[in-house]
Amino acid sequence: MRHSRILGVGRHLPERVVTNAVLGTMMDTTDEWIQQRTGIRMRRYSDDGVGAADMGADAAQQALRAAGLAAGDLDCIIFATLSPDVDMPASACLLQHRLGIGGMPAFDVRNQCSGFIYGLAIADMFIKAGTYEHVLVVGAEVHSTGIDLTTRGREVAVIFGDGAGAVVLGPEPDERRGILSTHLHAEGRFAEKLWLECPSTRLRPRVTEELITGDEARIFPKMDGRYVFRHAVTRFPEVIREALDANGLALTDLSLLIPHQANLRISQMVAQALELAEDQVFNNIDRYGNTTAASIPIALSEALDAGRIHDGAVVCLASFGAGFTWASALMRW
């Protein structure tokens, strides 16, 4: 069976840099606390009026250029986001229109930090099955308009940032190269450990003034940070080992691990648990914070630009996040 491989990668980071010191003027937090607990020094916030599809379209155009393809060459568009431009239709449809194309399928994957790998897995299956030749997978998020930028929301607010990344996949005839395998998991009983409850179809009406301004502020994401942390440091190593085992490879074969950028301490603990060398793990959370579905394609794009991925490199992408969901994808470049 043919494989799929990544033909081109792109990223879009909004220009507005928000340092920890700036957040300290909005809420009771400090640069020291944020750096010590998360490794984040700054993040980017989008401009007003800019949605996930706008940023995703820019990243997609770069990925297409890198792949040497035109937008019209795409057979399918998959858009991973937890912050779609609007409730409906899918941001994938908005992005398709922005790219000036139409006709091919376009849909969203709503799987938070694991959304990009879920999207990649679907794209890989479509290409392996011979259904499509060129599939665009985008991860894009605008968090800054949806977080509680007061002391009440500080545990969540200081972590998240905005950004977008994209890859274009195409067929790879050599079975030893391209995407070797993908591994997807979910455990819905932990849904409320990290969730955004409103607007909700369970409520009539779905959102009210009280839900927005009341003490509970249920329109903002809520997280049991320590609980999520504990699960993350277990699931990441598990799903990385699962990918290597499935391909008869060892941790020493791994050229580069690109983990979802959730918290620098999580990545460091994962690296320690797997006894990975510093140069085997890519981190850029210090500059962008946690951009959920966008973090892996942004990191992949930067790793390529930095010359960290050579021809034949074994690269593992891995994620953990709300749902809970976790996933990995192993590829030989």
User: Residues in the site for ligand UT7, rule: CB under 6 A?
Assistant: 29, 33, 37-38, 113, 154-155, 158, 194, 225-226, 228-229, 232, 262-263, 266, 290, 321
Q: Which residue is nearest to ligand UT7 (CB)?
A: 225
What's the min distance (Å) between Cβ of 226 and ligand UT7?
5
What's the min distance (Å) between Cβ of 210 and ligand UT7?
25
What's the min distance (Å) between Cβ of 260 and ligand UT7?
7
Q: Contact at 8 Å (CB) between 187 and 79? A: no
The radius of gyration computed from the CA coordinates of the chain, to the nearest angstrom, equals 19
Q: Smallest Cα–Cα separation from 253: which of 315, 181, 166?
A: 315
Please tell me which residue in 3, 12, 290, 316 is annotated as part of the active site: 290
Please tell me which residue in 113, 143, 231, 316 is annotated as part of the active site: 113
56 vs 161 by CB, closer to ligand UT7: 161
Alpha-carbon torsion, ordered 197, 108, 159, 165, to 10 deg: -170
153: Cα separation from own chain's centroid: 22
Q: Smallest Cα–Cα separation from 79: which of 98, 47, 66, 67?
A: 98
What's the min distance (Å) between Cβ of 41 and ligand UT7?
14
290 carries an active-site annotation: yes
The Cα 36–Cα 38 span in angstroms is: 6
38 vs 91 by CB, closer to ligand UT7: 38
What's the min distance (Å) between Cβ of 46 and ligand UT7?
19
195 vs 229 by CB, closer to ligand UT7: 229
29 vs 81 by CB, closer to ligand UT7: 29
The residues, any chain, with a CB within 8 Å of residue 126's CB and separated by 6 or more, are 75, 76, 132, 135
Token match 């155009």: residue?
Answer: 61
Alpha-carbon torsion, ordered 271, 276, 280, 285, to 10 deg: 10
Extract the runs of DSSP E, i.e. beta strands, from the chain. Answer: 3-12, 16-19, 42-45, 76-80, 106-109, 135-141, 163-172, 178-186, 194-195, 222-223, 256-259, 314-321, 325-332
37 vs 222 by CB, closer to ligand UT7: 37
What is the number of helices (H) and of strands (E) in the chain?
Answer: 11, 13
b/e sequence 45-68, b meaning 16+ C-beta within 10 Å = bbeeebbbbbbbbbbbbbbbebbe
Please tell me which residue in 260, 263, 284, 316 is annotated as part of the active site: 260
81 vs 290 by CB, closer to ligand UT7: 290
What's the min distance (Å) between Cβ of 49 and ligand UT7?
26
Catalytic residues: 113, 260, 290
